[in-house]
Amino acid sequence: MSQEKTTNQSWGGRFSEPVDAFVARFTASVNFDQRLYKHDIQGSIAHASMLAQVGVLTTDERDTIIEGLRAIQSEIEAGEFDWQVELEDVHMNIEARLTQRIGITGKKLHTGRSRNDQVATDIRLWLREEIDIILSELERLQSGLLDQAEQHAEVIMPGFTHLQTAQPVTFGHHLLAWYEMLRRDTERLLDCRKRVNRMPLGSAALAGTTYPIDRSITCELLGFDAVSGNSLDGVSDRDFAIEFCAAAAVAMMHLSRFSEELVLWTSAQFNFIDLPDRFCTGSSIMPQKKNPDVPELVRGKSGRVYGHLMGLLTLMKSQPLAYNKDNQEDKEPLFDAVDTLRDSLRAFADMIPAIKPRVDMMREAALRGFSTATDLADYLVRKGLPFRDCHEIVGLAVKYGVDQGKDLAEMSLAELRQFSDQIEQDVFDVLTLEGSVNARDHIGGTAPAQVRAAVTRGRAQLQADNA
């Protein structure tokens, strides 16, 4: 181990020798937690304001501290701040710089708090802000899906089960299925945000503080809904980070499913949609290639977020109360999960409105695979036959179609009647693609009228979210 030594003046009084330089680097978090600087300063300003209100600081000391903190924020944002690894983290770097700027008054800022409740507060402030950004990207993506669904409410494509042609649906209806998934993601994040928005500041190291603090003041200043009810839990709780990663993992799973379909649909074998060139790349050796890199990359990134969820669960699973150094490892997975979800949503929100369906190719595909077979069975049921008998009749008709190379709608009335004398000329009304989708005219159905009604409901939901 290196013999170089370093000293941290924030806690070094108890120690008879300085920390080994390698250990200082190994245990430092400033390289990644410096992104919390704005929220650390925000929390410190609120804390100083509260200390002044309860008489622990004078108003002059408060004003000097706040002025110093705002000057430090300007330094950081101008790229002029000197981050020092030996000061461990964002909190001590800012506090040390504050003392350097304003003198001994800077050392009074930490009265009545610990880095334990300070960092827990910073993370919540940061995550709350990031959730709001993510929700705005979700709203933008959902809005784009609704616009596309409305525009293509009557475009017919095959619906699949087991990736086999099942029944005809509209492209708008399919896009609304994606919208419904994102609605649930929005609901999960909104619910998660409620538990993020609870303030641990005032818990101090683990037991609270002997100073006459008023947590309601800092709670209001920082925009939290409530204060944490137990100081031990306040400093050591990371449920909110795990809960966010769980919601993010589900959202990334949804985006991965969308991505898989986009990759399939852009392939020569499907050729259902066209993605603009700006969302694709080419090949270094095959000049004809147009690769759907954005969907592929989002599909791959889902694994990162799954891993972060499992990492945080494992991090917390054996920790005794209260705070442990293990919790330093919560930030990088949380930061990356937030960045990955936010950027993936942004990519999709930009890309989805630019998708162009190849209407003729979708329709041709829907005409293959006997997609209206269920409609024929339903037609016979309405003629009074038991469904199981109808199922067998249609199965025989499909077998005949496979042998003859004909879809049900391409058969003559005489050909169809060899399977049941209940079939009349009006059967062709239900064997057409339009007849099939229009017949499913109920809430949640694929009929164009229902697609438009769902778009209207969706826009009302987004408006309510914004309100």
114-158 tens-digit pLDDT: 999 999 999 999 999 999 999 999 999 999 999 999 999 999 999
Q: Which secondary-structure segment (H or E) carries 120? A: helix 115-151
Tell me whether residue 114 is one of the annotated catalytic residues: no
Distance separating alpha carbons of residues 59 and 62, to the nearest angstrom: 5
Same-domain status, 200 and 72: no
149-191 tens-digit pLDDT: 999 999 999 999 999 999 999 999 999 999 999 999 999 999 9
Q: CA–CA distance from 424 to each of 132, 244, 389, 397, 412 (Å)?
A: 58, 58, 17, 15, 11
What tokens were used for 419?
């399977």
Distance separating alpha carbons of residues 120 and 228, to the nearest angstrom: 11
Distance of CA 303 to the CA centre of its chain: 13
| Domain end marker among 84, 111, 138 | 111
Tell me whether residue 162 is one of the annotated catalytic residues: yes
Answer for the pair 188, 253: CB distance below 8 angstroms, yes or no.
no
In a domain, 60, yes or no: yes
Same-domain status, 219 and 268: yes
| Domain end marker among 111, 135, 160 | 111
Answer for the pair 336, 304: CB distance below 8 angstroms, yes or no.
yes
Same-domain status, 182 and 239: yes
| Domain end marker among 90, 111, 132 | 111
In a domain, 107, yes or no: yes
Backbone angles phi, psi at 336, to 5 degrees: -70, -35
Same-domain status, 297 and 313: yes
CATH number of the domain that 71 lies in? 1.10.275.10
Backbone angles phi, psi at 291, to 5 degrees: -95, 135
Same-domain status, 88 and 159: no
CATH number of the domain that 315 lies in? 1.20.200.10
In a domain, 11, yes or no: no
* Amino acid 366: pLDDT: 94
Distance separating alpha carbons of residues 124 and 195, to the nearest angstrom: 9
Active site residue: 16, 162, 318, 412, which one?
162
Closest CA to 262 of 151, 150, 355, 139: 355
In a domain, 455, yes or no: no
Distance separating alpha carbons of residues 6 and 1, to the nearest angstrom: 14
Active site residue: 2, 74, 267, 283, which one?
283
SS3 462: helix
Answer for the pair 174, 155: CB distance below 8 angstroms, yes or no.
no
Same-domain status, 187 and 302: yes
| Domain around 440 | 370-446
Closest CA to 425 of 378, 379, 366: 379
SS3 440: coil
* Residue type (1 letter), 27: T
Same-domain status, 151 and 174: yes
Same-domain status, 208 and 267: yes
Answer for the pair 205, 114: CB distance below 8 angstroms, yes or no.
yes
SS3 399: helix
Same-domain status, 105 and 183: no
Longest dimension (CA), the chain: 101
Distance separating alpha carbons of residues 138 and 458, to the nearest angstrom: 13
Q: What is the pLDDT along the chain (467 residues), one digit of tens a residue?
A: 344 444 555 655 666 677 788 888 888 999 999 999 999 999 999 999 999 999 999 999 999 999 999 999 999 999 999 999 999 999 999 999 999 999 999 999 999 999 999 999 999 999 999 999 999 999 999 999 999 999 999 999 999 999 999 999 999 999 999 999 999 999 999 999 999 999 999 999 999 999 999 999 999 999 999 999 999 999 999 999 999 999 999 999 999 999 999 999 999 999 999 998 898 887 778 877 789 999 999 999 999 999 999 999 999 999 999 999 999 999 999 999 999 999 999 999 999 999 999 999 999 999 988 888 998 999 999 999 999 999 999 999 999 999 999 888 889 999 999 999 999 999 988 889 999 999 999 999 999 999 999 999 999 999 998 88
Q: What is the DSSP letter of 321?
A: S
Same-domain status, 81 and 143: no
* Amino acid 16: pLDDT: 64
In a domain, 98, yes or no: yes
In a domain, 341, yes or no: yes
In a domain, 15, yes or no: no
Could you give the number of structural domains in the chain?
3
Distance separating alpha carbons of residues 106 and 111, to the nearest angstrom: 10
Q: Which secondary-structure segment (H or E) carries 249? A: helix 239-266
* Amino acid 10: pLDDT: 60
pTM of this prediction? 0.92
In a domain, 298, yes or no: yes
Backbone angles phi, psi at 160, to 5 degrees: -125, 145
Same-domain status, 124 and 179: yes
CATH number of the domain that 434 lies in? 1.10.40.30
* Amino acid 5: pLDDT: 46
Same-domain status, 313 and 408: no
Terminal-residue alpha carbon distance, the chain: 58
